[in-house]
Amino acid sequence: MSSPCPFKTSQEMVNAVDTVYTLPATFHKLSEAINSPTSSMDEIAEILGNDQSMCMRILELANSSFYGFPAKIETISHALTLIGAQQIRDLVLGTTVIEMFEGIPSDLVNMNSFWKHSIACGLSAKIIASLRREPNIERFFVLGLLHDMGRMVMFQKIPEIMTELIQQARVRETSLYKLELETLQFTHEDIGADLMTQWKFPTRLSETIRKHHQISSFVKFPLESSVIHFADICAHTFGFDGSGESFIPPVHPIAWSQLGLETSSLKEIEKELDRQLQEVMKIMMNK
Amino acid sequence: MGMIPLDKVHEGAVLEKDIADNGQILIKAGMKLTERHLKLCLSWGITELPIKGADPNQLEQDFLASIPPEFMKEAEEKRDQKTKLLDPSHPSTPILSQIYLFKILKGYQK
């Protein structure tokens, strides 16, 4: 390695993250209101109403193929009743984080491809969860959307090291995350998870992100980790490979048996993704 | 019967099964599809239709046969490179490799 990494742990790197990565007050207010047993749907709708562009995105999603509701949803109160407050909070979380990172350019990766990969992973995760008839599929979408957030921080904080690792991974024909672990003793999974902990996100989110490549029998949330692990593989396979990895990551046997998917479901996931991707991308990337 | 991608269905094809949404029939089985039907299907977000006498495998084979050999060779090389880390003995590997190959080929077609 040409230059040593100035950070000994993932936490040290997260501590050095700029204040740019601060979640807006609306998000915290919303979280508080949702977690409080005394707040009403009207109060939650009012908090959301203060952020017009966020309201627009939530309504666009509610009316898109992401949900495929038969009738048009006109108001945020209607969306809250139909989709659920927790679920809307998760969607707000996803769009807020994307907005926050969108403004930060990177010389290392094409930001457009990076977010396409993330959205394709989020949608694949949501589709896998619905094939398994899991409740609250929005959390899978958000997990997929944010699974590589740590890499974005690494591209910003240690660009030279990451450039070298990307090249090495190509030459040595191995996964980038394995080289991160070998060289730095932590991976983008740890950075993403530590950042989420700093933002006081639920453990279910942070610990899933911490283990989406390094699957074992000991992961805290085996279903969530397995879904994101395989959704990431799907995104790469379907041609959305802007994560920095040069190869389609290998399928971990523990994740595969946890999911219990038939091989025939893969084409189903692809078809469903094709149906939803363009629309959701347009909404999430504000284009 | 075969499920055929909407963009491969031509006017005059005969619908094998009812197209329904929440129990409401949108297009009845046996209907000869018109341009208007196909446009409606697109606006409803339908991506494939059950067509009488159609064979999806044949469509796949026709598609593969339409690719010039030099493109096929290049696409297969790209696929082999990209799928290097997949375990050849894992049941998902053949399907993942095939989906990736088709993605590349469809890119060429465009």
Q: Do B14 and B48 lie in a common domain?
A: yes
Among A206, A213, A226, CA closest to A97: A206
Class at the top of the CATH hierarchy for domain A1-20+107-287: mainly alpha
Contacts 24+ apart (CB under 8 A), A82-89: A83/A138, A84/A136, A85/A34, A85/A41, A85/A44, A86/A34, A86/A136, A87/A136, A87/A138, A87/A139, A88/A44, A88/A48, A88/A58, A89/A30, A89/A31, A89/A34
Range of the domain at B76: 67-109
Question: Does residue B60 sit within a domain?
Answer: no
Question: Does residue B30 sit within a domain?
Answer: yes
Does the pLDDT at position A287 exceed 60? no
The encoded tokens of residue B7 equal 């963009």
Does the pLDDT at position B88 exceed 90? yes
- CA distance to partner chain B, nearest, from residue A275 (Å): 7
In this complex, is the C-beta atom of A65 within 8 Å of any C-beta atom belonging to chain B? yes
Q: Sort A103 into a burial class: Cβ within 10 Å, 0-12 / 13-18 / 19+.
A: exposed
**Domains of chain B: total:** 2
Does the pLDDT at position B92 exceed 90? yes
Among A119, A126, A154, CA closest to A6: A154
DSSP-assigned letter for residue B31: P
Q: Do B15 and B40 lie in a common domain?
A: yes
Region B45-64 average pLDDT: 82
The residue with greater pLDDT, A20 or B40, is B40
Region A263-282 average pLDDT: 90
Does the pLDDT at position A173 exceed 70? yes
Q: Do B8 and B45 lie in a common domain?
A: yes
Question: Domain spans of chain A?
Answer: 1-20+107-287, 23-103
Region A59-68 average pLDDT: 91
Comparing A55-59, B57-61, B91-95, the range with the smallest average pLDDT is B57-61
For residues A133-160, b (16+ Cβ closer than 10 Å) or e, as one string?
eeeebbbbbbbbbbbbbbbbbbbbbbee
Ramachandran quadrant class, A241 (left: phi over 0; alpha: psi -120 to 50; beta: rest) = alpha
Among B82, B78, B80, B96, CA closest to A251: B96
- CA distance to partner chain A, nearest, from residue B90 (Å): 8
Among A182, A199, A263, A202, CA closest to A230: A263
The pLDDT score that the predictor gives to residue B11 is 83
Question: B21 - beta bridge partners?
Answer: B24
Does the pLDDT at position A184 exceed 90? yes
- Residues B9-53 pLDDT 10s: 888 889 999 988 777 888 999 999 998 998 888 888 788 889 888
Does the pLDDT at position A25 exceed 90? no
For residues A200-211, b (16+ Cβ closer than 10 Å) or e, as one string?
ebeeebbbbbbb
- CA distance to partner chain B, nearest, from residue A99 (Å): 28
Does the pLDDT at position A82 exceed 60? yes
Question: Does residue B20 sit within a domain?
Answer: yes
What residues contact residue B6 under an 8 Å CB cut-off, 6+ apart?
Answer: B38, B41, B42, B46, B47, B48, B49
Of A248, A274, A275, the CB nearest to B85: A248
pTM above 0.90, yes or no: no
Region A167-180 average pLDDT: 96
Backbone angles phi, psi at A36, to 5 degrees: -85, 130
Asked if A275 lies within 8 A of B45 by C-beta distance, the reply is: yes
Among A206, A179, A281, A209, CA closest to A240: A281
Asked if B45 lies within 8 A of A237 by C-beta distance, the reply is: no
Report whether A119 contacts A145 (CB < 8 A).
Answer: yes
Q: Do B39 and B75 lie in a common domain?
A: no
Q: Do B38 and B79 lie in a common domain?
A: no
Q: Do B49 and B90 lie in a common domain?
A: no
Query: Which of B34, B55, B76 finishes a domain?
Result: B55
Question: Does residue B61 sit within a domain?
Answer: no
Among A121, A173, A169, A168, CA closest to A149: A121
H/E element, B24: strand B24-27
Among B46, B39, B49, CA closest to B8: B49
The pLDDT score that the predictor gives to residue A154 is 93
Q: Do B79 and B48 lie in a common domain?
A: no
In this complex, is the C-beta atom of A2 within 8 Å of any C-beta atom belonging to chain B? no
DSSP-assigned letter for residue B91: T
Comparing A32-36, A117-121, B1-5, B91-95, the range with the smallest average pLDDT is B1-5
The pLDDT score that the predictor gives to residue B44 is 82
- CA distance to partner chain A, nearest, from residue B102 (Å): 9
The encoded tokens of residue B69 equal 């050999």
The pLDDT score that the predictor gives to residue A2 is 66
The pLDDT score that the predictor gives to residue A187 is 97
Of B87, B100, B104, the CB nearest to A251: B87
- Please report residues of B whose CB lies closer than 8 A to that of A233: 96
- Residues A134-165 pLDDT 10s: 998 999 999 999 999 999 999 988 999 999 99
The pLDDT score that the predictor gives to residue A257 is 96
Q: In whole angstroms, give the CA distance from residue B50 to residue A73.
A: 30
- Residues A185-236 pLDDT 10s: 999 999 999 999 988 888 999 999 999 999 998 999 999 999 999 999 999 9
Asked if B86 lies within 8 A of A250 by C-beta distance, the reply is: yes
Q: Which single residue is written with the structure tokens 């692809």?
A: A270
Region A282-287 average pLDDT: 78
Among A78, A87, A89, A76, CA closest to A30: A89
The pLDDT score that the predictor gives to residue B59 is 75
Region A4-14 average pLDDT: 91
In this complex, is the C-beta atom of A242 within 8 Å of any C-beta atom belonging to chain B? no
What residues contact residue B11 under an 8 Å CB cut-off, 6+ apart?
Answer: B33, B34, B35, B38
Q: In whole angstroms, give the CA distance from residue B51 to residue B13.
A: 7
Q: Do B49 and B8 lie in a common domain?
A: yes
Q: How wide is the angle at C-alpha A62 spanned by C-alphas A60 and A67, nearest 5°?
A: 125
Interface predicted TM-score (ipTM) of this complex, two decimals: 0.88
| Average pLDDT score over chain A | 90
- Residues A239-269 pLDDT 10s: 999 999 999 999 999 999 999 999 989 988 9
Helix, strand or coil, per DSSP, at residue A79: helix
Q: Sort B70 into a burial class: Cβ within 10 Å, 0-12 / 13-18 / 19+.
A: exposed
Q: In whole angstroms, give the CA distance from residue A169 to residue A159.
A: 15
